Structure 1
Amino acid sequence: MTTLDGIKTHFGNPAKIAVPALAALLALAGCSFGSSDPGTTSVGVAGFAKGVITAKGSIFVNGVEYETSASEIMVDGVLVSGDSLLEVGMIVDLKGTIDPATGKGIAEAVDYSSSIEGTVDAGSIDAIAGTFGVFGLLVQTDAFTVFKGLPGLAGTLPLADNDRVEVSGTLGVLADGVTKVIRASMIKRENGSTEDFKVKGTVSALSGPSDGTFTLTLESGAVLSIAFAGTLDTAIAAGSYVKIEASSGPSGGVLSTSADKIEAKEQHRLKAEHGDRAEASGIVSGLAGTDPVTFTVDGISVSASASLAAGVADGVKVEVKGTIENDVLIATKVKVEQDADREVQGVVTAVDTVALTVTINGVPLKTVAETIFEEDDGGAVVEFNSIDDLAVGDFIEAKTYEDSVTGDVIAVKIERKQADADNETKLKGIVETVDGTTVTIQGVALDLSAIIADADQRAAFLALLVPGETMVKLQGSVSGIVTTWTEIEIED
């Protein structure tokens, strides 16, 4: 059991609370884009979007639904038919039109290119930090990361050395200002795959066009030595950006392949044009100026007023909307992503598709346009695109955060999964108040005497709780309308 200075911080013993008492857990507000008859047609505004696919059924990117039935779709440089290979969590570039009246769009072209595909570096997994390495590139996971072939909200713990993974994400820099990192939006484990590994980077120190070597500098700054057989495409020279496929991973820092598997690529085939309505999400870099403030988001130059850019800093993730003027995105909206450090798990007892709330064991959660919806790989094969696809009796797990301005708690990711045999329920949040033996956690008042029977241990535990600061996690089970909380612990 966890201890702090010898004091127990994890206790278990049944405590029952009727679910109606939990209804005050989350007071939520949010917004979503309007909907309309999908058959309605109107003149759209030319637009460009770069962001994460948050739901399917067409595709949803940066909170906007885009029709894809007639789209030209490229996946890792290959033209594909239909959007079946596009998955929730992938970061895509998209060109199309948006109807200002409905907020919906039509995608003319969609490009997806994985950030890296390879094997997990031996000894690189840090389950606490949520990081691991692939070919020397640091990968960071967080509450927004979508996992495929892995338990959805379990972080990197289920990964093992040499697991084969595909990663989609945005490139950023750690707090040291030097170490580059991919902030993963999707991690897909593909241990059964027989496809080639894929890496991308910039060519230097090319020995010659035939049967030679060159140095490949990945976006992370990591360097691989490439040994190739055959003759390179004449378009490939020092400074070229290339995609390389290989049947096996690097050995001793050397990746061996054939020349016909080395292809010169444009880093971004689809680009925003002057006058386009544009949306981009990613990691901020190169922050400069005071008013306006300028910065870069995943290769896109942004200019924003000081008021819009409040809270923007290098290394944070943002979503920006505006218009392209002379290759610069002039922002009309800047949203700084907040850490989703809270968690709720349980059985759906109500769904309100008008208010956009889903109730878990009596606790309402508000969904917004950017909420990610996903189905656990072990679950039933059912379309899960939005709150409309949830039903009473579904077992879901949600990651949430409290809006620093409004105080509302927003669901950023909802995963539908198979329930445990005991219908385990969870609640993770900040302690709000401590009154005698009663602790309030996001509206839930819990008498700890029912969990920690020993008065001395209970007093010692309560003394560790600082309202507004201490993060705790409750675990229990639900039966009908009664939740039985059996464990409480302080989260480090």
Structure 2
Amino acid sequence: MNTLVRLSLLLSSVLLVSACGGGSGSSAPAQGVSKGVITALGSVIVNGIEYNIDNAAIKIDDNPGTPSQLKVGMVVKVRGSADNSTRLGVAREVEAHDVLEGNISALGANTITVMGQTVHIEDNVTRLNDDNTVKVFSAANFQIGDRVEVHGFPDDQGGLRATRVAKITSSNDFEIKGYVLALGSGSFGLSLTPGGAAILTVTGSLPAGAGIGSLVEVRSNAAPVAGALTATLVKLEDRLAGAGEKVEVEGIVTSGSVDDFVINGQEVLTSSSTIFEGGLKTDFAVGVQLEAEGTLNGSGALVTSKISFRSNIKIEADLSALSSTSFSVVGKTVTINAFTRIDGGPLANGQHVEVRAIADRDGNLVARRIVVKGASSQTFIQGPVSAKDAAAGTLSILGLSVLTTSGTEFRISTDSAEQAVGQSAFFAQVTLGVTIVKARWNSSNTLAAAQQVEIELGK
């Protein structure tokens, strides 16, 4: 199908939903499985969906649990129904599984070592000791010998990016989850990602049905010694879902290309029909944090209908107020940390840069990637819209008020085509807190009316 025709059909369907009341109640909730981080409680919010858990079966590390045991920062698997138009769902089952459980054997700069694995902790992002007032590594007061459980994702550097680290006293087991590598006589290798580098050699027998590539939980009564662990139990973990089931998975891209890659141990496939949300296909890179949505095929790979970039905040502007830990663009302070990738550096004041960022727990911007570009007068910001006033023609993005007028270009775009729309149609597409909008200016004056505002459908 011609790309422009396909875009027109897609836009027409979106406009039809808006004409019917913005999509509320316009589609039946879909049954499926969602695996990601709990970002808020009350119910639980996972991958942007607020799930009611009043009647859900709760499991904590395979044991029956209660809603009060669910914590922000836990990585969970939710089985139930969800309506993407209302962002509401009903959970039948919620399973929480940590990645590591054991004693801290070493401390570093925002790192701890548990079960021989380096765990990276990000200030104002990683949840620490289930205490909302403890936001930075130093305040958590971790000590060698402390017993902790760790939730998080394997990263592209061979370590773990923690989403939650909490001290515990209720267990004497040492636990680690990973993927089976080469088999030996009464032993096997273990990796954090399928086919990845070996992190441990485990002495023990695999359960029935487990083989190379299987995800297993290994328990021991002692910590690893020199990369070797003696198992007291090896348990085969359940598959994420069955063939044909709808699945959403959040994680960091650890290997592969945009067409075939791995996040959180799950193989993900994209195609020409995959929609990229919060960015374009060209924004893909190993190390980027994504959410992939689609269905599992017979081989267990996730065939995607949509890819959502977690770091969907982008700014292009001149850099100023540079220090070792932060800088300023369009009047916004952006933090630099160990996870920030810099292309074309070193950074210097006055450089024209493109920044991809996330918002931390306090709403502050943290750079995930900075690209130094050639000198330019162009400025743009991209992020979720927090407020809109169609009558006044204003949008609030990243705390900045964006003014639009009759001279502003309103566009909806894909990877390969753009289509102009009217102001009223554009504003009708914007769902607060959900829709990502890019605003452009031909100067550094963001108080002036934007030259262009754009919703990137990414298809």
Distance in 1 between residues matched to 2:262 and 2:304, nearest whole Å = 12
Distance in 1 between residues matched to 2:211 and 2:282, nearest whole Å = 43
**Closer, same or farther: CA 296–225 of 1 in aligned 2, 3 Å:** closer
Q: Which residue of 1 aligns with 2:86?
A: 102
Select the residue among 306, 314, 319 that pairs with 1:332. Answer: 306
**CA shift for structure 1 position 125:** 1.4
Q: TM-score, normalised by structure 2?
A: 0.55
- Conservation of the 8 A alpha-carbon contact between 2:38 and 2:45: yes
Q: Which residue of 2 aligns with 1:284?
A: 253
Select the residue among 15, 33, 49 that pairs with 1:64. Answer: 49
Asked if 1:160 corresponds to 2:143, the answer is yes
Say which SS state the counterpart of residue 136 (structure 2) adopts: coil
- Conservation of the 8 A alpha-carbon contact between 1:319 and 1:337: no
**Closer, same or farther: CA 337–193 of 1 in aligned 2, 3 Å:** same
The residue identity in structure 2 corresponding to 1:265 is: L
Q: Which residue of 2 aligns with 1:48?
A: 33
Give the alignment of 1:127-276 within 5 angstroms.
Answer: 130-142=110-122, 143-148=124-129, 152-155=134-137, 158-174=141-157, 180-190=158-168, 192-201=169-178, 202=180, 205-208=183-186, 214-219=187-192, 221-226=197-202, 241-258=215-232, 262-266=233-237, 268-271=238-241, 273-274=243-244, 276=246
Q: TM-score, normalised by structure 1?
A: 0.52
**CA shift for structure 1 position 243:** 2.0
Q: Answer 1 or 2: higher relative contact order, Cα 8 Å, separation at least 6.
A: 1
Distance in 2 between residues matched to 1:239 and 1:103, nearest whole Å = 34
Percentage of identical aligned residues: 26
Select the residue among 263, 267, 273 that pairs with 1:297. Answer: 263
Residues 224-261 of structure 1 show CA distances to partners (whole Å, capped at 9, x for unaligned) of: 45456xx8856667776432223332345443454xxx
**Closer, same or farther: CA 173–152 of 1 in aligned 2, 3 Å:** same
Asked if 1:308 corresponds to 2:280, the answer is yes
**Closer, same or farther: CA 286–106 of 1 in aligned 2, 3 Å:** same
Give the alignment of 1:426-445 within 5 angstroms.
Answer: none
Asked if 1:318 corresponds to 2:309, the answer is no
Q: Which residue of 1 aligns with 2:365?
A: 401
Distance in 2 between residues matched to 1:87 and 1:110, nearest whole Å = 12
- Conservation of the 8 A alpha-carbon contact between 1:287 and 1:296: yes
Say which SS state the counterpart of residue 217 (structure 1) adopts: strand
Say which SS state the counterpart of residue 252 (structure 2) adopts: strand
Say which SS state the counterpart of residue 144 (structure 1) adopts: coil
Q: Which residue of 2 aligns with 1:433?
A: none
Q: Which residue of 2 aligns with 1:486?
A: none
Number of residue pairs matched by the alignment: 302
Distance in 2 between residues matched to 1:250 and 1:309, nearest whole Å = 41
- Conservation of the 8 A alpha-carbon contact between 2:359 and 2:366: no
Say which SS state the counterpart of residue 160 (structure 1) adopts: coil
Distance in 1 between residues matched to 2:147 and 2:98, nearest whole Å = 13
Distance in 2 between residues matched to 1:274 and 1:238, nearest whole Å = 24
Unaligned runs of 5+ in 2: 1-21, 315-325, 327-331, 335-357, 368-378, 387-443, 445-459
**Closer, same or farther: CA 405–137 of 1 in aligned 2, 3 Å:** farther
Please give the root-mean-square deviation of Cα atoms over the aligned residues, in Å.
4.1
Say which SS state the counterpart of residue 102 (structure 1) adopts: coil
The residue identity in structure 2 corresponding to 1:148 is: N
Q: Which residue of 1 aligns with 2:10?
A: none
**Closer, same or farther: CA 312–269 of 1 in aligned 2, 3 Å:** same
Distance in 1 between residues matched to 2:192 and 2:46, nearest whole Å = 24
**Greater C-alpha Rg:** 1
**CA shift for structure 1 position 120:** 1.9
**Closer, same or farther: CA 400–325 of 1 in aligned 2, 3 Å:** farther
